[in-house]
Amino acid sequence: MNAMKVAITDYEYETISAERAVLEAAGIECSDFQCKTEEDVIRQAVGCDGLIVQYAPITARVIAALERCRVIVRYGIGVDNVDVAAATAKGIFVCNVPDYGVEDVANHAFAFLLALAKKIPQQQAQMHSGGWGYAEIKPITRLSCCTLGLLGFGRIPQQVCIRAKAFGMKVIAFDIYQVPVISEQLDIPYVEMDELLAQSDFISVHAPAVDGGALISAENIAKMKDGVVVINTSRGTNVDEAALLAALESGKVRAAGLDVYADEPATNAALYSHPMVSCTPHIGAATVEAQKRIGQEIVEIIAAM
């Protein structure tokens, strides 16, 4: 019997090397690539029995070309870059690792919230330039006087909610899929989108990539409070970056915390270098503990096929 062949389509040595070693020790043949396009995936993975993917586009066209593939494992939360319907129709098992970085991404989102409420990035920049004093960076916000709106209310925002309530914040949530028992347990009301936009002092985005355009669009920004803070640790396409930049320039949006971008690595320098933007390079789940867990789960899934 021939060894199972697995293609790693978005190879990053630091995050997958240990898992690759375990798979190879189990007799599974691994190949690693940096696939950015459909053509890349088709060329590199067409003869493989399984795929480990992160951001590579696994479209219906790609799936049609996969002659032997039995399993596609998304190295992360969500499967929005995989055409699940096309894969299922072809008998390919698709899965992800939904729980591995919940705590870590929630902490990252709340770290943005704390830093932007206290204007820590701006205070640091002031001191780096030789400045000193409150006048240059006021106002600073007390969280217990603020409302946090969560766009999406899955596992990660539920953890953000717990942290926000510990700081005395009022929290409201919008989600197209409502689970009343969770809302009741956490004592958080579901509201309509427009109500959340109008009431929130901080808005944190926790939705998968959605059809029909960005959630943080020019139209929705116009419905927000003046001086709102926007945080995105979900998917870069959930924010219209041009609209957000314009709102930062006008002051409609006071500040933003961004871990994800429409293009990655990020190319919109005007946005990520803006003085009122706190930004990180898509590392919300990048803790030692989370990476160890996701690696273990992926190995178990592939080895069981």
Query: How do residues 175-227 score in pLDDT, each as one tens digit?
Result: 998 888 888 999 999 999 999 999 999 999 999 887 778 999 999 999 999 99
The conformation of residue 215, written as its DSSP 8-state character, comes to: S
96-154 pLDDT, tens digit per residue, is: 887 778 999 999 999 999 999 999 998 999 899 998 887 777 778 899 999 999 999 99
235 catalytic per annotation: yes
206 catalytic per annotation: no
Phi, psi for 126 (deg, rounded to 5): -60, -45
pLDDT at 300: 80
% pLDDT > 70, the chain: 96
What is the rounded distance in angstroms from the CA atom of residue 237 to the CA atom of residue 179? 25
Residue 231: its H or E element? strand 228-232
Residue 172 has pLDDT above 90, yes or no: yes
155 catalytic per annotation: no
Both tokens of 242, joined, read 């041009």
Pairing of strands 228-232, 253-258: parallel
β-bridge mates for residue 232, sequence order: 205, 258
273-289 pLDDT, tens digit per residue, is: 999 999 999 999 888 88
Q: Which of 77, 31, 86 is nearest to 58 (CA)?
A: 86
What is the rounded distance in angstroms from the CA atom of residue 231 to the CA atom of residue 283? 14
- Distances in whole angstroms, Cα of residue 222 to Cα of each of 139, 154, 198: 22, 26, 9
Catalytic residue among 136, 264, 289, 300: 264
Catalytic residue among 61, 155, 282, 293: 282
Residue 13 has pLDDT above 70, yes or no: no
